Amino acid sequence: MHTSADRIRNVALVGHRGSGKTSLHEALLYTAGAVSRLGRVTEGTTVSDADADEKARQMSISAALTSFEWQERKVNLLDTPGEPSFVADALGALRVCESAIFVVNAVMGVEVSTTRLWQRAAELDLARLLFVNMLDRERADFFRTLDGLKAAFGPHVVATEIPIGSEHEVSGVIDLVDMKAYAYDGDGRDNCREIPIPEELEAQAQEHREKLMDEVAENSDALMERYLEGEEISHDEIVGALKEGTNHGALFPVTCGVATRNLATNRLLDAIVEDLPSPVKHGGLEVAGMTLEPTEEADLYAYVFKTRADPFAGRINLFRVYQGMMRHDSHVLNTRAHAKERIGQLLAFNGRDTQHVDEFGPGDIGAVAKLKETRAGDWLAARDEPIEMPAVALPAPVMAFAIEPKTKGDEDKVFTALRRLQEEDPTIDLHRDDQTGEQIVAGLSQIHVEVVIARLRERFGAEVELHPPRVPYLETIRASARAHGRHKKQSGGRGQFGDCHIEIEPLASGEGFEFVDAIKGGVIPGGFIPAVERGVREAMQRGAVAGYPVKDVRVRLYDGSYHSVDSSEMAFKTAGALAMRQALEAASPVLLEPIMQVTVSVPDDAVGDVIGDLNSRRGRPLGMEPAGGMTEVRAEVPMAELLSYAPDLRAITGGQGEFTMELARYEEVPGHLVEKVVAQTKASAEAAA
């Protein structure tokens, strides 16, 4: 039997790295009875963070799903990583949930990722609830954090509870909806008991209760009137209006507690059920000109938001049913691959155990094993018609390395494994650089690439080496020149003869290559002219300055001669190459380097350092503007100066800066640096030989 959509709550736990999401996830599971003991991140015993590398680093790397019941509702909870390198999983989780709980560290307050994820949740129109965690830590301050949240996210951020005591003396919370107080003893499941509101907190509780009621009343006209007339308003009415306001971001309830002490997590469970919307209440999904409604009778539409690659268990896909029913032992269509997939095993993650289930209803989130073609981003549907989820913008992978297997001959193994990991994480870029011939793997950060390499080793037994990628320099010419290429060999039998005169001149940047056949009177027969061009193109692969490909050149073939017996295509090709090599040397060749347009997003106080650093990298600032609580600095910087930018930016900004880059254009390498590039190129060519 499946859960009806109005009884489901799909909730993503999101927030800054280390704010306590995984600990809170564990406490919620424990309190709901889904696990029998409270695991700890510090001991590697939590349900999510189950991977070996997550335990070793004590941080979440992948999103983890668990499902459990509370107050006769089914809660699908997605614990997401806070580290920006793994933001794809946080964004994937936000995509399929109606609600997000923002876990905020009460010592640090609003942090970079809190702000960034908030924007994403707002774009997706999610209901948002906040949990101010770590109240027990030294220098934790609920009210300062609350003020910070209001400053960052507006006046509709409002407390629904306040703590009793602070730092290591925090002992409970006061519920502002019912004006009741609760004390917590120990971290057991039944640690909560009601107490009278402590006298010294009465005034403060009353003050915050009024703020809450003002916000609540704003979301219901009927309530507003009665509230202004001083009438008593019931729990259900308040909660109803609270949910109304929360559903589409008109109100953001703030709760609080201590995840690792299981303090107030039972109240958070209540809030999930009472304040956050079900898929029915939140409304259908507009996609591909349709509205997918959470109804059982309609055609199936399920969206796959996460793929886990396991070399042994195979692929596991997590999906969200938007409409219709997902049943085991059925066939569905993958609308991207246009393939029929057999749904064998449907899986539910209940606490520590994985269970086989028969079906998932509309609005529900579940997993399926062993699909052949399906991976994250795909739709599974009753009909094979094009449908595409509005894309979630992912950061661009900027930390690039050239990758090589440690053992020659392991190439296939390494690249198959990398492709599997890429299915799991779309922010991994994998491509061959045509120009340098290197296999490039790029991620969002050093740590991101490290995790990929460790997973290659641990999951797939593939050992690799990384080195900085080569900069794809180019060459061009600044003057025109003429040259004569003559290839002549007469040694017994049939000889070889090819002879041509060319003139080359610069083209405008980006125009590439042009070959003009200006032969008159058949001095070179038409059949040999393409061979000359091939020779010319071949010579252009290795420019005269440092051996890089040459671009933006027009070549005019204007004279030559041939021999009726000894001429051949081969001979004319060689002659063309000879002529071109000479011409390039004579035409003031120059070295070009890629210039990247870089956008750096940093906290305001780091702007000066970041610009100073960009200047030292031969960067040209283009401007800056505020963006989501940060400053965005734009600049143009040569790629050669950015090879280690990711870790450097991290260091300059205390881990808070992010950047993206894309190719702007090629520009001439300044004269004083050309020698260096030539020497480096020579050295790396010798090392490779």
Q: Using CB under 6 A as the criterion, which residues of the chain lie in contact with ligand GTP when the complex forms?
A: 15, 17-23, 41-42, 59-60, 81-83, 103, 133-134, 136-137, 258-260
Q: Which amino acid does the sequence have at 37?
A: R
Eight-state DSSP code of residue 425? -
The whole-angstrom distance between residue 123's C-alpha and the CA centroid of its chain comes to: 16
From the list Mg ion, ligand GTP, none, partner contacted by residue 589 (C-beta under 5 to 8 A by kind): none
**62 lies in the binding site for Mg ion (CB under 5 A):** no
Q: Closer to ligand GTP by CB, 24 or 332: give it.
A: 24
**21 lies in the binding site for Mg ion (CB under 5 A):** yes
Please give the size of the binding site for Mg ion, defined by CB under 5 A: 3
From the list ligand GTP, Mg ion, none, partner contacted by residue 136 (C-beta under 5 to 8 A by kind): ligand GTP
From the list ligand GTP, Mg ion, none, partner contacted by residue 470 (C-beta under 5 to 8 A by kind): none
Paired with 626 in beta bridges are 631
Q: At how many degrees (to 10) do helices 446-460 and 645-652 cross?
A: 120
Eight-state DSSP code of residue 134? -
Q: Closer to ligand GTP by CB, 27 or 392: give it.
A: 27
To ligand GTP, the closest distance from the beta carbon of 60 in angstroms equals 3
To ligand GTP, the closest distance from the beta carbon of 26 in angstroms equals 8
To ligand GTP, the closest distance from the beta carbon of 257 in angstroms equals 7
**133 lies in the binding site for Mg ion (CB under 5 A):** no
- The residue written with tokens 């960052």 in the block is 152
Q: Closer to ligand GTP by CB, 137 or 320: give it.
A: 137
To ligand GTP, the closest distance from the beta carbon of 133 in angstroms equals 5
Q: Are strands 353-357 and 359-360 parallel, antiparallel or unpaired?
A: unpaired
Q: Which of 416, 412, 417, 98 is nearest to 284 (CA)?
A: 98
From the list Mg ion, ligand GTP, none, partner contacted by residue 133 (C-beta under 5 to 8 A by kind): ligand GTP
Structure-token pair, residue 547:
């051996």
To ligand GTP, the closest distance from the beta carbon of 48 in angstroms equals 8
To ligand GTP, the closest distance from the beta carbon of 44 in angstroms equals 11
Q: Closer to Mg ion by CB, 15 or 363: give it.
A: 15
**46 lies in the binding site for Mg ion (CB under 5 A):** no
To ligand GTP, the closest distance from the beta carbon of 424 in angstroms equals 17
Structure-token pair, residue 371:
């699909």
Which runs of consecutive H residues, i.e. helices, occur in 97-230?
112-123, 142-153, 202-218, 221-228
From the list ligand GTP, Mg ion, none, partner contacted by residue 34 (C-beta under 5 to 8 A by kind): none
From the list ligand GTP, Mg ion, none, partner contacted by residue 438 (C-beta under 5 to 8 A by kind): none
Q: Closer to Mg ion by CB, 60 or 114: give it.
A: 60
Task: Classify 428 as helix, strand or coil.
Answer: coil
From the list ligand GTP, Mg ion, none, partner contacted by residue 593 (C-beta under 5 to 8 A by kind): none
Q: Give the neighbor-by-neighbor strand order of the sheet with 157-159.
A: 64-70, 73-79, 8-15, 99-105, 127-133, 252-256, 157-159
Burial of 457 (0-12, 13-18, 19+ CB in 10 A): middle
Q: Closer to Mg ion by CB, 106 or 555: give it.
A: 106
Q: Rounded to 5 degrees, what are φ and ψ at 68?
A: -155, 170
Contacts of 468 (CB under 8 A, 6+ apart): 401, 402, 643, 644
**60 lies in the binding site for Mg ion (CB under 5 A):** yes
To Mg ion, the closest distance from the beta carbon of 619 in angstroms equals 35
To Mg ion, the closest distance from the beta carbon of 271 in angstroms equals 20
**22 lies in the binding site for Mg ion (CB under 5 A):** yes
From the list ligand GTP, Mg ion, none, partner contacted by residue 464 (C-beta under 5 to 8 A by kind): none
Strand (E) or helix (H) holding 667? strand 658-668
Q: Which of 377, 189, 170, 461 is nearest to 181 (CA)?
A: 170
Gap between the Cα atoms of 131 and 112, Å rounded: 16
To Mg ion, the closest distance from the beta carbon of 61 in angstroms equals 9
Q: Closer to Mg ion by CB, 94 or 578: give it.
A: 94
End-to-end CA distance of the chain: 66
Q: Closer to ligand GTP by CB, 41 or 326: give it.
A: 41
Query: In this chain, which residue has its C-beta nearest to ligand GTP?
Result: 82
- The residue written with tokens 């050295």 in the block is 683
To ligand GTP, the closest distance from the beta carbon of 313 in angstroms equals 23
Q: Closer to Mg ion by CB, 30 or 666: give it.
A: 30
- The residue written with tokens 């917590």 in the block is 184
Task: Classify 355 as helix, strand or coil.
Answer: strand
To ligand GTP, the closest distance from the beta carbon of 81 in angstroms equals 5
Q: Closer to Mg ion by CB, 79 or 293: give it.
A: 79
Q: At how many degrees (to 10) do helices 202-218 and 221-228 cross?
A: 140
Structure-token pair, residue 201:
């907190």
Q: Closer to ligand GTP by CB, 79 or 98: give it.
A: 79
Q: Which of 407, 458, 402, 464 is nearest to 435 (CA)?
A: 402
Contacts of 287 (CB under 8 A, 6+ apart): 322, 387, 388, 389, 390
320-357 burial code (b ≥16 CB/10 A, e <16)? bbbbbbbbbeeebbbbbeeeebebeebbbbbbeeeeeb
Stretch near Mg ion under the rule CB under 5 A, chosen from 52-60, 62-70, 204-212, 248-256 = 52-60
Q: Closer to Mg ion by CB, 51 or 636: give it.
A: 51
The residue ranges that bind Mg ion (CB under 5 A) are 21-22, 60
